[in-house]
A and B are shown apart, each in its own frame.
Chain A
Amino acid sequence: MKTTTAGQAPAPARHRASLAVLGTYLGLAAALLILIVLFSCLSSHFWSYSTFSTIANQIPDLMVLAVGMTFVLIIGGIDLSVGSVLALAASALSVAILSWGWGPLPAGLLGLACAALAGTVTGSITVAWRIPSFIVSLGVLEMARGAAYQLTGSRTAYIGDAYAWLADPLLWGISPAFLIALAVTVLAQLVLTRSVFGRQLIGIGTNEEAVRLAGIDPRPSKVLVFTVMGLLAGVAALFQLSRLEAADPNAGAGLELQVIAAVVIGGTSLMGGRGSVVSTFFGVLIISVLAAGLAQVGANEPTKRIITGAVIVIAVVLDTYRTRRARGRG
């Protein structure tokens, strides 16, 4: 298992591990490239800068959610509530602006706080009673969705362009939202690979008992991971609002599955202890390019779902092979 904790491994092992990581990135990049080439052949306008900038500006919400989910999966957890928490944050924000007359900044902070709170609740209950986060987050999914309906009276609320600056192209057609999401991704990768906290998380996911025996209390770190997940769902809500100018209490329904799919395509293990934020980013790109490409080709709804599902399954099967080979070598 030392291959996963590259920082602690002796020099030759570290070398081998980084080669394996490089192989993973290359594999994912190749898959992405195949998709892009395929859609460029099938569609007349896919191969254009505007297509790619459009995709880039659509994915910041998925990107930050996937970053958070990578951490959650690494510690052996799962958070099914992210889509609902996103809707809750957007709803709270819309009520603050429309009913209470708050400005965009305090309302935005309120939305983020609600989302972080929801994440903290999931994390605390999971840790305090040692309940699988699958179940706890399923409960929070329902509660957050219900709260979102309650707050908005189940209506789509028009907010206006208070946050539009996040989505409006800044430079070369790229929005600030994408740049922020990119910064979050890079920061998260550094935390995961270069910090004590990151190594602790991998340790928790690999063998929580061992971490405890080493004299480290894993509980605060675990709660923190869920809090960050919630917070990032709030950030994703802001990104969506900035693009759509309206808060829909139905927003993000089923989004959790898309997020988990992106993370798993990137090779993060559902069993915990293994994962990479950069790979997750590739996963997000693959899912998004697939969705955009299929829409541009004009595939009908059933085809879209069948193909997307098949890509997820194939990606995970390939990942299993890769992991076995890496373990065999390590």
Chain B
Amino acid sequence: MKRPCTGRWLVPALLSSLFALGPIDSALAAANPPKVALVMKSLANEFFLTMENGAKAYQQQHSGEFELVANGIKNETDTAAQIAIVEQMIASHVDALVIAPADSKALVPVIKKAADAGIKVVNIDNRLDPAVLDSKQLQVPFVGPDNQAGAFKVGEYLGQQLNAGDAVGIIEGVPTTTNAQQRTTGFRQAMDAAKMTIVSVQSGNWEMAPAQQVAAAMLSEYPDIKALLAGNDNMALGAVSAVRAAGKAGQVKVVGYDNIQAIAPMLKDGRVLATAEQYADRQAVYGIEAALKLVKGQDTGAQSGVIVTPVDLVTGKP
């Protein structure tokens, strides 16, 4: 502790040197606040923007404790761009990396590189494939909501409003993402439990216009569809539009996921029955907290590599 410290740093620095046994790392960390890189998916998506803003607000409240470098890619499927960003973060010697991977498998090699460079990695939002992680002997804690359980809650609520045997369609996100797969699984389980018939599962690629097209095709092909389950709210907006265009307003129920702002008026007037809130702003914060604990060598409290954040059902009825 030869370097000059400001008063703010004195206490943690002294404390860490008092408790220190092999604490060169933590002493340095206390002197220079650790640099945490937050690498997001599409910052164009409201969900990730909320997440990033939550992280920034948290950083401002705890400005002495860590530095934050936030980065995102243009669109959610641009895996190559995200890998390039992680490589830059490795080159700029960050202490920790909190990442929402664009692809649950393709990002693993570069995360391995980061871990090998001594960077503490925490996985948020979209869980890295455990099998691929194992094959690289990597342990990356996942902080995030249980998408499958969240989708199940939404589906369960929908099921209560339908009659057994009713036909339903699922509009999935980008099929290669774990989030899309888990939400679809959750929807399927809920529909099976409520004895609904799933007549079609197709991808709307997380977006409004493609979802509208797919929903319109489902409604033409299966005129007796009673509900559409969309993997996110943007696609639910597209589904609502298709229902209206088919002249079936009020006859086909629509549910979504994410609880974005634009869905609020639709929840209110019943065009969307329910959605799930998974507190995007808290996720990056939980991720950063876990990353800081790892940097300090503390226990993250993860159970079998997972720290679960809450998901709540949001319905139109007050």
Contact B208 A251 (CB under 8 A): yes
Contact A253 B262 (CB under 8 A): no
Given known A50-B246, A154-B43, A240-B209, contact A248–B202 (CB-CB < 8 A): no
B85 within 8 A of A: no
A44 within 8 A of B: yes
Identify which of B139-147, B154-162, B216-224 touches chain A: B216-224
Q: Is the interface of B mostly helix, strand, loop or mixed?
A: helix
Partner of A298, one of B43, B202, B219, B261: B202
CB-defined contacts of A246 to chain B, threshold 8 Å: 208, 237, 262
Contact B261 A155 (CB under 8 A): yes
Interface size class of B (residues with CB under 8 A): 35 or more
Within 8 A of A (CB), among B169-223: 175, 200, 202-203, 205, 207-209, 212-214, 216-223
B42, B208, B233, B264, most chain A CB atoms within 10 A: B208
A45 within 8 A of B: yes
CB-defined contacts of B43 to chain A, threshold 8 Å: 149, 154
Contact A58 B220 (CB under 8 A): no
A272 within 8 A of B: no
Partner of B44, one of A158, A169, A249: A249
Interface size on A, residues (CB 8 A): 40
Within 8 A of B (CB), among A38-86: 43-46, 48, 50-51, 54, 57-58
C-alpha gap A45/B219 in the complex (Å): 10
Interface string of B15-51 (1 = CB under 8 A from A): 0000000000000000000000000001111100100
Within 8 A of A (CB), among B93-147: none
Contact A250 B207 (CB under 8 A): yes
Given known A58-B213, A292-B216, A296-B220, contact A158–B261 (CB-CB < 8 A): yes
B297 within 8 A of A: no
Interface string of B234-247 (1 = CB under 8 A from A): 10011011000111
A167 within 8 A of B: yes
A45, A246, A297, most chain B CB atoms within 10 A: A246
Contact B44 A54 (CB under 8 A): no
B13 within 8 A of A: no
Contact B212 A43 (CB under 8 A): no
Contact A300 B212 (CB under 8 A): no
Partner of B245, one of A45, A155, A243: A243
A48, A51, A250, A252, most chain B CB atoms within 10 A: A250
CB-defined contacts of B205 to chain A, threshold 8 Å: 301
C-alpha gap A253/B261 in the complex (Å): 21
C-alpha gap A301/B208 in the complex (Å): 16
A160 within 8 A of B: yes
C-alpha gap A203/B245 in the complex (Å): 43
CB-defined contacts of A253 to chain B, threshold 8 Å: 75, 207
Interface string of A160-203 (1 = CB under 8 A from B): 10000001010000000000000000000000000000000000
Given known A156-B46, A295-B202, contact A45–B221 (CB-CB < 8 A): yes
Given known A58-B213, A244-B209, A295-B214, contact A46–B220 (CB-CB < 8 A): yes
9 contacts between A and B (CB under 8 A): A43-B221, A45-B220, A54-B216, A154-B43, A160-B265, A248-B207, A250-B75, A253-B75, A298-B200
Nearest 3 A-B pairs (CB), nearest first?
Answer: A295-B217, A158-B262, A296-B221
Residues of B within 8 A of A (CB): 42-46, 49, 74-75, 175, 200, 202-203, 205, 207-209, 212-214, 216-223, 233-234, 237-238, 240-241, 245-247, 260-266
